[in-house]
Structure formats: structure tokens, C-alpha cells
Amino acid sequence: MTVTVERGARTVGKGPAVRPPRRPGSSYALFLLPGALAFLTVIVVPFLMNTGVSFTDWQGVGSPEWSGLANYRELFDDSEFWASFRHSLFMVVAMAAVPTAIGLVLAAALFDYVGKHFGGKVAAVLRACFYLPQVLPIAVAGIVWSWILAPENGSLNEVLKAVGLSSWQQDWLGDPDIALYSVMGVMVWVQLGFPLVIFMAGLQRVDPQLHEAAELDGAGWWRRFWHITLPQIRPEIYVVLTWCTIAALKVFGAVYVLTKGGPGGATNVPSYFSFTTFFEKTQVGYGAAISTVLTVIILALSLIGLKLQTRAEDAEEGARA
Amino acid sequence: MTTVLRRYPVLIALCIGALFMVVPFAIVAVNAVKSPTEYAQNGPLSLPEGLYLDGIKDFWERVDFGRKLVNSVLISGAVAVLAVVLSVLNAYAIGIGRIKGRTWVLAFFVLANMLPQEALVYPIYYLSKEAGLYDTRLSVIIVFTVIQAAFGTYLLSSVLGQFPREILEAARIDGATKWQVLWRIVVPVSRPTLGVLLVFFFIWTWNEFLLPLVMLISNDNQTVSVALGVLQGQRLMDATMTNAAALLGTLPAIVFFLVFQRTLTRGIAVGAVK
């Protein structure tokens, strides 16, 4: 670090020695200019356009006609729309709640047992195995799983046959009663690595003396997990829950590749619903209304998440002080 | 003594769990090298009798996989570099320049990052058609540069907010301009964080699906993710080809993972705490 600074200082030292004192913070705004312009073009303008279009009856060609709240009123009565949001809640369970719960136990077990008694290498290898699905493009994960879950010659059904559970065989993605649960299972597999890695990083902050003292007092592993580990990594839990809930509400690629929202809309989710409304039915105004509602929900949840997170951090700092 | 014995069941349970996570990769690899007849006779669970690479070769040629790889590398690479540059410029103004109203500017970037792409996709599709950029790799590069830079700005601003002020003061006394301070001091000192961002932006962009699916419709411009997803959606492939596709789609991800594993886990930790 010092080397860099010296090099920098020497090169720039050739400039004029005395300069008029600069007002702090004045011309720094110039550095923000490219970013601000790019943001305006790629995010702000399209977002405002989308919101505007949601109040019109637009088919994507010709000029949009103002229709006020008609799209939103239609949404309110649209059972397909409500179903897609209900499926979203299932996705929140599969992508946020379950991975967080399993991730916590796994992280604590890897940290307490494996890391301490079998070495950091073993823990790192196991962690890598759990994290691996996270680096896979969702399209590829979809290919892998739709083949594993295929009704004929699918690996899962073959395994069930091999262990004598033929009666458990299913058309995992084709049966409307099961498809949503199958997609949920795949999403748990995809998502698990993320909370695990974050929680393992967070656990390194926890003071080992707390655990040692509790252990001497005769507290078992579950009690220590519940009363020491969990409260200590609460900030990480909030971060993970917020991020994963948002990801669950936005889930698109997995549904597109695994089921295309089917069978019979059994796995339709808002983002896939808006996608088909935009590009297959070309009801752009209606699609915009769906995505606007989705945006409002996501932003509201993000704010709640951020709030909980800062409150947890404040509480933690208060406890330390 | 008994406590040591009690630890093995935990280790074994964790190993079984880890195995369950990697088994899908293993059966894909095994079935990608089986011939269609062998697959039809023995099913998906048998070990391959020999090495049959025609499935992979056929698939490669059929989807022009080399071309898709080039597209993905080009798009993800360009986005990673451009988004890091944009993030640095933004974060320099916010974290070090401490411009007026920086909390609001930062909140704005955070919200932009949390917006669902569904709320942007149709206008972006429409505007890019108007601008003559539809179905070009450039359009995807521009859009993801901005989206990734939103996260980069958020993360880097807090990192640069804690940049040692003495170094900046020293340079300023020596007469360095803001531009010189940025490129000769701030960027070199922050290199580890910038590296993390570079890797993340590359992989995130590589894995993106919705916007590339909408924007890149011609075969010549598609990325690996889109090409595989579209093929799967059409259900045109037989089992051998499906596995060839899955294997070829997985390999780059595994390579990134092995090469960048440290960066990835460190980066997640950085992102989580901030």
C-alpha cells in the first residue's frame, strides 16, 4: 500500500506546488455524471414508462390509450393473477425460509463440529459442495432437473424403482398437484449455498469464549445454538431473508425452463405471468400493471428488510456499548 | 472420549447432504458420455460402458456452442469491466467526495438494484427497437452495465467511505488533481474489492436469463444461458443431447467456481456485512 502511495505522490508531485484551496465536495459531482445519465436512460425512464403504460390499454403497437385504473381493477378479479401470487408465497418458503433454516443448522454444524474437530479443509470442501449449485446458470439447473424429474426414464423415478418404491413414482413436473412442490424442491437445492456461505462468514465473528463458557455451564449444542449462535448472527439472517425473499418474488428462469408455468398454470408466478402477458398475449398495458404491483411489493419488502437489519445492527451496537 | 464419537454422525450426515448436492452433476456427467442405445437399454443410473462423445459433438455443432461461448464471454467480460469503472466513478463521488445529498443518491442506486427486471423489460425492449439496438449484444451490455453498477456503487461507496483520509490529504497537498487521486491512489489501493466485484459481475451477467432472452433473439447473438434455456423450453432434445447440453452448460460454471472460489466466498462475506 505504501509503495503505491509513494509512487503516486512522486508522479503527481511535479504539478504546481501551491494551489488555491478547493471547496470540498464541489466538483466531485462531475464523477457522478456518467452514472447518473446511464441510470436515467436504462432504469428511470423505462421504469416510469412501464408505470405509465400500466394505466393504458396498449397492445405494443399504435399509440397507447389512457384507461385509468382499468388494468388494476381487472387484475383484482383475475384468478390467474392471484394464483401466481399464491405460488410466489410457496417460492418464498422454498427459496428464503427453508434455505435459511437449513443453512443455519448446516453452518453451525460445519463450524462447531467439522471445522473444529476435523480441520478447516474438510469444512471448506463440504461448504463448496453445498455452494456449487449457486454458480450454475438457472437455465442449466433447469435442464438438469427436468431430466432428473422426467416421468419416463427420469433418474428420480429410476432410483425409486431400484429401491423398491415404484409406487412412489410420479410425473414430478407434469402433475398439477405435485409440480409446484417439485419446483420448490429444485429451488431449495439451488438456493441453499447462499445462506450457508454467509452464515459461515458471520460465525467467525462470534466470540468462541461465549460458547466455551456456556459449555462449561453444561449447555448442550442446541441450547448454545439457540441462545448464542442465533442472536449473534441476527444481522446476517436479516440480510439473507431479505435478499432471498426478493429473489423468490422475482423467480423467472427456473419456471421458464422447468415448467413454463404449467401444467395448467400450476406453477405460474408473477414474473412469468407478466412475461407471457407482454410477449405472447401482447397485452402490454396489463403486463405493465402486473409488474408494477410486483415492484411495489418488492420495494415494500426491501424497505422492511433494510429497517429490520439496521434495527438489529443498532441493537447489537447498543448491547456492545 | 464419548464427545469425539458423537461428532462422527454429524460429519457423516453432512457428507451425505453434500453428496446429495453434487449427485445431479455426477449423473449428468455420466449420461453425457453414453450412446443413445446404451441409455435406452440401461437407463440413467448405470455406469457408462465406454466413452461416447458424439452426443456432445452433435450438440456443440447443432447449437453452434462455440459462438454462444464467445457471446457470453464478450458480454459478461465487457459488462464486468464497464460496470466496475462506472461503480468506481459513482462511489468516488459518494464515498470520498461526500457530495451533497449522498444518502439520497445512494438510496436511489439501492432501489434501482432491487427493482424487478420485469418492470423494465418491455420499455427496454421497445426503446432498443426504436434506437436500432434490438437484438445486438451491445444493448445487453449497456443494460447490465447499469444494473450491476447499481450494486457496485452501493458496495464500493461504503468501502471508499472508510478510505484512509491521510493518504488523500497527502496527495492533495502534493497538488494531485481529483482525477489523479482516483486513478493513482484510490483504484490501486482498492484493487482487492474491485477484483471481487469484477468476478461477481462476470458470473452474474453470465447467468442472467430474462433480459437476454427478450433482447437476443437471433441465434448468432444468444448467450449460453439463453440458448440452453430456449432449447429446453422447446423440449426438442433426446436424453443424450439433454445431458450433453447440461454438461457443456455446467463446465464453464465449474471452471469459474474453481478459479474464483476464494474471491466468491470472500466477496459474499463483504457484501453481507455491508
Residues A90-103 have pLDDT tens digits of 999 999 999 999 99
**B137 to chain A nearest CA, in Å?**
15
Confirm whether A204 is domain-assigned: yes
Interface subset of B 194-233, CB within 8 angstroms of A:
203, 206-207, 209-210, 213-214, 224-226, 228-229, 232-233
b/e for A212-242, b at 16 or more Cβ within 10 A?
eeeeeeebebeebbeebbeebbbbbbbbbbb
SS3 A56: strand
What average pLDDT does range B151-170 have in this prediction?
87
SS3 A183: helix
Report how far residue B233's alpha carbon sits from residue B75's, in angstroms, rounded to the nearest whole number.
23
With CB atoms and an 8 Å threshold, state whether A31 touches B4: no
> Domain count of chain A?
1
CB B25 within 8 A of CB A138: no
Q: Kindly give the residue spans of alpha helices, DSSP state H, lying in chain A.
A: 2-12, 29-39, 45-53, 70-77, 79-92, 98-109, 116-118, 120-135, 138-148, 155-162, 179-191, 193-203, 208-216, 221-224, 230-232, 234-250, 253-258, 270-279, 284-320
User: Hey, which of A9-13, B138-142, B167-171 has the most confident mean pLDDT?
Assistant: B138-142
SS3 A66: strand
Residues B72-112: pLDDT tens digits?
Answer: 999 999 999 999 999 999 999 988 888 888 888 888 888 88
Report how far residue A288's alpha carbon sits from residue B98's, in angstroms, rounded to the nearest whole number.
37
Q: What is the ipTM of this complex?
A: 0.85
With CB atoms and an 8 Å threshold, state whether B232 touches A7: no
**A35 to chain B nearest CA, in Å?**
6
Nearest Cα residue to B175 out of A24, A3, A12: A12
- pLDDT score at B85: 96
Interface subset of B 149-188, CB within 8 angstroms of A:
149-150, 153, 167, 170-172, 174-178, 180-182, 184-185, 188
Identify which of A35, A240, A295 has the shortest CB distance to residue B115.
Answer: A295
Confirm whether A17 is domain-assigned: no
Cell numbers for A142: 433447469
Report how far residue A301's alpha carbon sits from residue A294's, in angstroms, rounded to the nearest whole number.
11
Residues B48-80: pLDDT tens digits?
Answer: 777 888 888 888 888 888 999 999 999 999 999
How far CA B63 is from CA of A128, B17, B134, B205, B230, in Å, comes to 31, 35, 21, 21, 11
Interface subset of B 234-263, CB within 8 angstroms of A:
239, 242-243, 245-246, 249-250, 253-254, 256-257, 261
**B86 to chain A nearest CA, in Å?**
6
- pLDDT score at A306: 79
Confirm whether A3 is domain-assigned: no
Confirm whether A100 is domain-assigned: yes
Give the number of other Cβ atoms within 10 Å of residue A262's Cβ. 15
Report how far residue B207's alpha carbon sits from residue B264's, in angstroms, rounded to the nearest whole number.
15
Identify which of A8, A22, A278 has the shortest CB distance to residue B184.
Answer: A8
Q: Is B130 exposed, middle or buried (0-12, 13-18, 19+ CB in 10 A)?
A: exposed
b/e for B235-271, b at 16 or more Cβ within 10 A?
eebebbbbbbbbbbbbebbeebbeebbebbbbbbbbb
Q: Is A142 exposed, middle or buried (0-12, 13-18, 19+ CB in 10 A)?
A: buried
Domains and CATH numbers, chain B: 64-236 (1.10.3720.10)
b/e for B80-114, b at 16 or more Cβ within 10 A?
bebbbbbbbbbbbbbbbbebeebeebbebbbbbbb
Q: Which residues contact A143 (CB under 8 A, 6 or more apart)?
A: A257, B228, B232, B242, B245, B246, B249
**A201 to chain B nearest CA, in Å?**
6
Mutation site for B-interface testing, chosen from A12, A22, A169, A282 by largest number of B Cβ within 10 Å:
A12
Cell numbers for B58: 452433435
- pLDDT score at A95: 94
Mutation site for B-interface testing, chosen from A18, A136, A194, A310 by largest number of B Cβ within 10 Å:
A136
Q: Which residues contact B201 (CB under 8 A, 6 or more apart)?
A: B76, B79, B80, B83, B84, B148, B152
- In chain A, which stretches have pLDDT less than 50? 1-18, 20-21, 25
Does residue B183 or residue A60 have the better pLDDT?
Answer: B183
Domain, as residue range, for A288: 87-320
Confirm whether A59 is domain-assigned: no
**A8 to chain B nearest CA, in Å?**
5
Give the number of other Cβ atoms within 10 Å of residue B228's Cβ. 28
CB B213 within 8 A of CB B230: yes
With CB atoms and an 8 Å threshold, state whether B233 touches A284: no
Q: Does A19 touch chain B (CB under 8 A)?
A: yes
Cell numbers for B67: 459462438
- pLDDT score at A11: 41
Confirm whether A25 is domain-assigned: no
What average pLDDT does range B140-156 have in this prediction?
92
Residue B269 pLDDT class (50, 70, 90 cuts):
low
Can you give B167-227 as a three-state secondary structure string? HHHHHHHCCCCHHHHHHHHHHHHCHHHHHHHHHHHHHHHHHCCHHHHHHCCCCCCCCHHHH
Q: What integer best gives the mean pLDDT of chain B?
A: 85
CATH value at residue A124: 1.10.3720.10
**Closest B-chain CA to A51:** B119
- pLDDT score at A3: 36
Cell numbers for B232: 429446453
With CB atoms and an 8 Å threshold, state whether A294 touches B116: yes
Residues making up chain A, counted from first to last: 321
